């Protein structure tokens, strides 16, 4: 009986990112190094950030972060700080974002 032996030269395992519906593309953290475990990250849309698009960008907290859905993007909404702040935080009490560390002698949600 003839016996055949095979070897595996390269094995690529692919997966997908968990981006909470806020990205359509994933990118490897280090695409050039094939000898290590590569963890991928999301290329975020909808004004989100983070490895899994799990939070809003600093100026986009006018409502709480929510995962995206097929029928509704749930994009993070910009706060109206009128160029007096670089970030805002959602306030449950007010139901909107409040500008952080306002400049130009201003304060409050706008």
> 30-58, pLDDT tens digit by residue?
554 555 555 678 999 999 999 999 999 99
- Rounded to an integer, what distance in angstroms lies between the CA atom of residue 88 and that of residue 6? 59
Instruction: For the chain, give the percent of residues with pLDDT over 70.
Output: 80
- pTM metric for this prediction: 0.73
44 against 8, higher pLDDT = 44
Q: Taking Cα atoms as reference points, which of 79, 82, 81 lies closest to residue 95?
A: 79
């Amino acid at each position: 009986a003839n016996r055949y032996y095979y070897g595996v030269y390269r094995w690529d395992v692919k997966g997908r990112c968990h981006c909470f519906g806020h990205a359509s593309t994933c990118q490897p953290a280090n695409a050039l190094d094939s000898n290590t475990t590569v963890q991928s990250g999301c290329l975020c849309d909808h004004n989100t950030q983070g490895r899994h698009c799990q939070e809003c960008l600093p100026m986009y907290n006018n409502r709480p972060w929510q995962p995206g859905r097929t029928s509704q993007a749930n994009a993070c909404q910009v706060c109206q700080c009128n160029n007096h702040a670089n970030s805002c935080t959602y306030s449950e009490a007010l139901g909107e974002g409040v500008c952080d560390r306002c400049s130009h002698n201003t304060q409050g949600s706008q």
